[in-house]
Chains A and B, each alone.
Chain A
Amino acid sequence: MTPLQIVFLIVTVATLISAVMVVSARRMLHAALWLILSLLGIAVLFVTLETSFFAIVQVMVYVGAIAILIVFAVMLTRRDIQDRDKVTNRGAWAAALAALGVAGGLVGALTGWQAFASIRPELAADSAAEGTRIAQLGMALVSPDAYAIPFEVASVLLIGALIGAIYVAGERK
């Protein structure tokens, strides 16, 4: 058992337990905090794959923006701090069945994947190589024969969401 495997196992178990607690915590704020923990677990998994850029961007975007927004929304809509809702509703058994079906389908589809047996290509882990990889990512996002159009479409989508939010939250004269 290499240390990397030990770290991977610990982080995976923590992420899965946090994900289960997100949907089964009684208080919504606790569910939001468990979500933050599971997102941090995903960031650590990115680090074990030696892509520190994605790990940091995961923390910055998911934890630093989206999770804060979720916590904000929870705080603004709960009437008091002590509310305890029922965790399940009428469709609980159907949802559990669907989740098991999706999980079974994923496991069945992935067991036949050939790449599990192959050796992962070694990425140069020093800082200069990482900088080159980030530069390649940047070039790929803006060069016309790579991914410039999806990039621009995503930014138009964000602008649309921004304008919509300002309109919905704005004052009606």
Chain B
Amino acid sequence: MPNFWSDPVGFLIQWLTNLLTGLGLSPELVKFLLAFLGAALLPLMAMLFVVFLIWYERKLYARMQDRFGPNRLGPWGIFQTFADMGKIFTKEIITPAGVDLIPFNLAPILAVGAVLLVWAVMPLAPRIVGVDLSVGLIFVIAAGGFGELAIMLAGWGSNNKYALLGGFRAVALLLSYEVPMVIAMLIPAMLAGSLNLVEIVASQDVPYLLLAPVAALIFFITQVAESGRAPFDLVEAESELVAGYNTEYSGLKFGMFYVAEFLHAFTSSMLFVTLFLGGYRGPFANEFPLLGLVYLMVKTFIVYFVTILFRGALPRFRIDQMLDLNWKVLTPLILAMVFVTALVDKIVVQAGGPLLVRTIVLFVVNMLIFWFSSKLLQRNVRPPRRKVSVQRPLATANVTPSASQGQDNLSA
């Protein structure tokens, strides 16, 4: 019987197997039931976690805007999300006339499903992972494709011009930002030598943030864009497009899009931590896997904090600014990074350099390319405006004594 602290999943499986075979079920049925239970439990935990996430984000976003956030229901407003859930569950589900029922109803399901699929391959702790998939990294990319499909189906199925337009803009944005995202994801795979997420975490003796900072930055920016969050939230800009592709959804279907957006932001923060910050690594994580889970959560919340900071601090981009940023800045930069990283990494590793030399060389090369590209970009920055006139003197209330004496009509 494995110890609970050193192998929690093994312990639970052994205990449940003993319990169920003691009740008289056959071993194959027990194995199937346990696999099914594991597969059902992981997304359930993720969805229940969203309740906390929504409260956390609303409070933090509010504090960044110098206001309190929800503080009526319960101490610090912790029951606000439950109230929101009650409202969304009990709203009338209105299906507008003329909608195409299959895309209209399929879209919220696909939107949430695409995000939950990523949790299946995420390494949560040293021996706790949903599926140890050898191609976990491109599984994540493939699951992202379902999310884009969901947005297009939502925009089309709503029988609404504004929703359709919002859907097109959203998909243009998502497809464009997928290009640098995929290439930036390749760099940790190159450095680790494998597409398996568990192996990428296991080979991060030095976090890949130090070995590939430019790729980490580009990955972070593209993940913020892929989640449709500010400053890239043109797709649901309330003042511009009513509500974009989810205009016609009411009740629980809108709730699904809402949950999908928050969970996507958290999941992409977790992916960033797994790829660039070392995932569950930390002191004593191998002996006590639950400690690894704690480290993963702490690091993910740090990255999530930065995501919310982006949302609270930056104004929204225009669609042409977003696409310019993607195709003119991010894509060439990440392509250059891939070439240089592959070249430099292989040279250093072939020459037999130790880890410290590899780290320093890659870091210096990254910083050089970043400095060089920012120099190139500064040539395109708008120059400061030429002064065309001097500011005219304004009439103020500070009247000087000499002037008042000359113009005072009441003096004798």
Interface residues of A (CB under 8 A from B): 27, 29-30, 33, 36, 52-53, 56-57, 59-60, 63-65, 67-68, 71-72, 75, 81-82, 127, 130-131, 134
Q: Known A29-B100, A68-B171; judge A60-B142 contact (CB<8 A).
A: yes
Shortest 5 CB-CB contacts between residues of A and residues of B = A64-B145, A130-B134, A60-B142, A59-B142, A127-B134
Q: B-side interface residues toward A, CB under 8 Å?
A: 98-100, 102-103, 106, 132-135, 138-139, 141-142, 144-146, 148-149, 152-153, 155-157, 159, 164, 167-168, 171, 175, 194-196, 198-199
Asked if A81 and B139 sit within 8 Å, CB to CB, the answer is no
Main secondary structure of the interface of B (DSSP, over half): helix
Residue contact B196 to A127, C-beta cutoff 8 Å:
yes
Residue contact B134 to A53, C-beta cutoff 8 Å:
yes
Among B100, B106, B135, B175, the one with the most A-chain Cβ atoms within 10 Å of its Cβ is: B135
Q: B163 → chain A, closest Cβ, in Å? A: 11
Cβ-defined contact, B141 with A33, below 8 A: no
Q: How far is the CA of A53 from the CA of B135 in the complex (A)?
A: 6
Instruction: Name B159's closest neighbour in chain A (CB-CB).
Output: A81
Instruction: Assess whether B195 is in contact with A134, with CB atoms less than 8 Å apart.
Output: yes
Contacting pair A36 B138 (CB below 8 A): no
Q: Are A131 and B196 in contact (CB under 8 A)?
A: yes
Distance of A26 from chain B, by nearest CB (Å): 11
Bound Cα distance A60, B185 (Å): 14
Contact of A63 among B103, B133, B142, B171 (CB under 8 A): B142
Compute how far the CA of A127 lies from the CA of B138 in the bound complex, rounded to whole angstroms.
15
Decide: A75 near B164, CB < 8 A? Known: A59-B145, A63-B149, A68-B149. yes
A41 CB, nearest partner CB in chain B, Å: 15
A85 CB, nearest partner CB in chain B, Å: 15
Kindly state the separation between the CA atoms of A52 and B137 in the bound complex, as whole angstroms: 12
Which B-chain residue is minimally distant from A65 (CB atoms)?
Answer: B145
Q: Which chain B positions have C-beta within 8 A of A71?
A: 149, 152-153, 156
Contact of A29 among B156, B175, B198 (CB under 8 A): B156
In the complex, are the beta carbons of B145 and A68 less than 8 A apart? yes
Give the residues in chain B near A30, CB-CB below 8 Å.
100, 102
B363 to chain A: closest CB distance in Å? 27
Q: Which B residues are CB-close (under 8 A) to A127?
A: 132-134, 196, 198-199
Complex Cα–Cα for A72 and B145 (A): 13
30 contacts between A and B (CB under 8 A): A29-B100, A30-B102, A36-B149, A52-B133, A52-B135, A56-B135, A56-B142, A59-B142, A60-B138, A63-B142, A63-B145, A63-B146, A65-B145, A68-B145, A68-B148, A68-B149, A68-B175, A71-B149, A71-B153, A71-B156, A72-B152, A75-B167, A81-B99, A81-B159, A82-B98, A127-B133, A127-B196, A127-B199, A131-B196, A134-B134
**In the complex, A53 Cα to B136 Cα: how many Å?**
9
Number of A-B contacts (CB under 8 A): 80
Q: Which residues does chain A contribute within 8 Å of B102, judged by CB atoms? A: 30, 33
Q: Which of B135, B138, B149, B175 contacts A67 (CB 8 A)?
A: B149
On whether A81 and B138 interact (CB within 8 A), knowing A67-B149, A131-B194, the answer reads no
Q: Are A72 and B138 in contact (CB under 8 A)?
A: no
CB-CB < 8 A to A52: which residues of B? 133-135
Q: How far is the CA of A72 from the CA of B171 in the complex (A)?
A: 9
- Residue with the highest number of chain B CB atoms closer than 10 Å, among A56, A65, A82: A56
- C-alpha spacing A131/B134, complex, angstroms: 7
Given the complex of chains A and B, what is the CA–CA distance between A72 and B155 in angstroms?
Answer: 11
Alpha-carbon gap, A104 to B198, bound state (A): 47
User: What is the bound-complex CA distance between A56 and B145, given in angstroms?
Assistant: 12
State A75–B145 Cα separation when bound (angstroms).
Answer: 17
- Known A71-B152, A71-B153, A75-B155; 17 more pairs at CB < 8 Å: A29-B100, A29-B103, A29-B156, A36-B149, A52-B133, A53-B134, A53-B135, A63-B149, A64-B141, A68-B148, A68-B175, A75-B156, A75-B167, A81-B98, A81-B99, A131-B134, A134-B195
Q: How far is the CA of A127 from the CA of B199 in the complex (A)?
A: 10
Report Cα–Cα, A72/B135, bound state, in Å.
Answer: 28
| B172 and chain A: residue at smallest CB distance | A72
- Assess whether B141 is in contact with A60, with CB atoms less than 8 Å apart: yes
Chain B contacts of A29 at CB under 8 A? 100, 103, 156
B138: A residues at CB distance < 8 A: 56-57, 60
Residues of chain A within 8 A of B100, CB atoms compared: 27, 29-30, 81-82
How distant is the Cα of A72 from the Cα of B167 in the complex, in angstroms?
10
- A-side contacts of B98, CB under 8 Å: 81-82
**If the complex has contacts A63-B146, A65-B145, are A75 and B135 also in contact, measured as CB distance less than 8 A?**
no
Of B98, B99, B152, the most chain A CB neighbours within 10 A belong to B152
Which residues on B sit within 8 Å (CB–CB) of A75?
152, 155-156, 164, 167-168
Q: How far is the CB of B71 from chain A (nearest CB, A)?
A: 42
Complex Cα distance A81/B148, Å? 20
On whether the beta carbons of A64 and B142 are closer than 8 Å, the reply is yes
Q: Smallest CB-CB separation from A74: which chain B residue?
A: B156
Contact call B152/A68, Cβ cutoff below 8 A? yes
Contacts of B135 in A (CB 8 A): 52-53, 56, 130, 134
Name the residue on B nearest A71 (C-beta). B152
Interface centre among B145, B148, B171, B195 (most CB of A within 10 A): B145
Q: Which residue of A lies closest to B164 (CB)?
A: A75
Among B102, B134, B157, B199, chain A packs the most CB atoms within 10 A around the CB of B134
